[in-house]
Amino acid sequence: MTDSVFNEQVGRFLNPKESVPMKETYRSAKLACGLKEDEYTRSEFFGAAKINQLLKQKGCVGIRVHYAKRWEDENGKPTEPGKGQLKPRVLLTGVDERGRDLPIPASQSGLKDDGGDDGDMVVGDGRPCPQFCGN
Note the pLDDT tens digit of each residue in 39-52. Answer: 899 999 999 999 99
45, 54, 83, 132 from 129: Cα distances, Å? 8, 23, 21, 5
Tell me, rounded to whole angstroms, the distance of Cα 94 from its chain centroid. 11
Residue 6 CA to residue 89 CA, distance in Å, equals: 24
20, 55, 61 from 49: Cα distances, Å? 27, 10, 17
72-101: pLDDT as tens digits:
998 889 999 999 999 999 999 999 999 999
Handedness of CA 28, 34, 37, 40 (dihedral sign): negative
